[in-house]
Amino acid sequence: MRAGIFYKKGDIRVEEVPDPKIIDPTDAIIRITYSCICGSDLWYYRGLSKHETGRIGHEMLGIVEEVGDEVKKLKVGDIVVAPFAWCDMSCPACKNGISSACWHGGLWGMNHTDGCQGEKARAPFADGCLFVIPKKTDKALMPALLTLSDVMCTGHHAAVSAGVSKEKTVAVIGDGAVGLCAVLASKRLGAKRIILMSRHQKRTDVGKKFGATDIISERGEKSVIKIKELTDGIGVDCILECVGTKSSWEMAFGMIRAGGKIGYVGVPHDVELPIPDMFRRNIGVNGGVAPAANYISELMPDILSGKIDPSPVFDLTIPLDKLPDGYKAMDEHKAIKVLVRP
């Protein structure tokens, strides 16, 4: 079989690798039919985070090809989607709703598991963390369902962590696939007003389709002034922080109203919290690595019914053999998110 292999900064290749085999009796082998490249894969591609040489990718949808002896629920032939953090769904962390901190879990492509950009993968704890898609589902819905692997659940986690609900004014920082899904998740939760920070037409078009009511193209201090203008000087109730940089957090604290909440899902890089300001203004900060496995069952029915459609985050589709071109396109901001068809 073929799979994407990470070598070093800027060097991803597609190569022949051995087919995965059942190792533990709770494993399943998945034939991957849809995968994609994530903004977080770019951290490795750009040499900003470490990744060992080997398979890469953490989002997949596919067909169960083989199951281990202790797999009870899943059957060969089931169509499944996997959360980006695999987990057992039975430990105290998973049962408490934070499967991304599973006591026995990890990330695809690490901890001796297969990356998802390839033709097949071995899935540990198959009954716990693979979610079955009804067999009769229209193929056209598969890209939307693949977003349950990561970006739709991560955007939802930002919104839930920030306490988005009806009557709330929301600002989304970050116009990548996660930020755009955070807009869609806020709309789904009934937010009254959703302000998206973006200056790229292609992304603002998707943001508006997803429910953004206002777009702010200014950055830094100017974006804070603009938010204050839009909200009668008050600031917003909920900030969905989907970037993770020092400047995005400065914007977040500039825009949030007293008593507001920041939900964060951007991987933090060089960020420190201003505890005295948080104390003085009663600002809440909540979030982290999204527990996608805890959200998939809630969100999948809304995709199947057509209530939400996150698929417009994919603006480029490539065959697996062209995987390096997909990374290049995302690295150069020529694509929001790349769908990969093995």
Residues 119, 127, 150, 237: which binds Zn ion (CB under 5 A)? 150
Window contacting Zn ion (CB under 5 A); options: 4-12, 93-101, 311-319, 324-332: 93-101
Q: Give strand pairing partners of 4.
A: 14
Paired tokens of 189 = 């939760």
Q: Which residue has 């995965």 as its token pair? A: 20
* Residue 211 to residue 234: CA distance in whole angstroms: 22
For residues 12 and 256, which CB has a smaller minimum distance to Zn ion in the complex?
12
Q: Is 241 in the site for Zn ion (CB under 5 A)?
A: no
Q: Is 237 in the site for Zn ion (CB under 5 A)?
A: no
Nearest-5° Cα angle at 53, 179 to 88: 60
Q: Is 42 in the site for Zn ion (CB under 5 A)?
A: no
Window contacting Zn ion (CB under 5 A); options: 15-23, 38-46, 108-116, 287-295: 38-46
Residues 67, 82, 94, 152: which binds Zn ion (CB under 5 A)? 94
Residues 32, 37, 67, 87: which binds Zn ion (CB under 5 A)? 87
Residues 28, 32, 38, 196: which binds Zn ion (CB under 5 A)? 38
DSSP summary character for residue 322: G
Q: Is 101 in the site for Zn ion (CB under 5 A)?
A: no
* Residue 190 to residue 184: CA distance in whole angstroms: 10
Q: Which residue is nearest to Zn ion (CB)?
A: 38
For residues 153 and 162, which CB has a smaller minimum distance to Zn ion in the complex?
153
- Count Cβ neighbours within 10 Å for each residue of 261-295 and write b for 16 or more, e otherwise: bbbbbbbbeebeeeeeeeeeeebebebebbbbbbb
DSSP summary character for residue 268: P
For residues 148 and 172, which CB has a smaller minimum distance to Zn ion in the complex?
148
* Total of residues contacting Zn ion (CB under 5 A): 7
C-alpha of 168 from chain center: 23
Window contacting Zn ion (CB under 5 A); options: 26-34, 85-93, 271-279, 322-330: 85-93
Window contacting Zn ion (CB under 5 A); options: 69-77, 148-156, 240-248, 259-267: 148-156
Nearest-5° Cα angle at 326, 31 to 113: 40
For residues 68 and 260, which CB has a smaller minimum distance to Zn ion in the complex?
68
Q: Is 127 in the site for Zn ion (CB under 5 A)?
A: no
Q: Give strand pairing partners of 120.
A: 31
Q: How many residues does the chain have?
A: 342
Catalog residues that contact Zn ion under the rule CB under 5 A: 38, 87-88, 91, 94, 102, 150
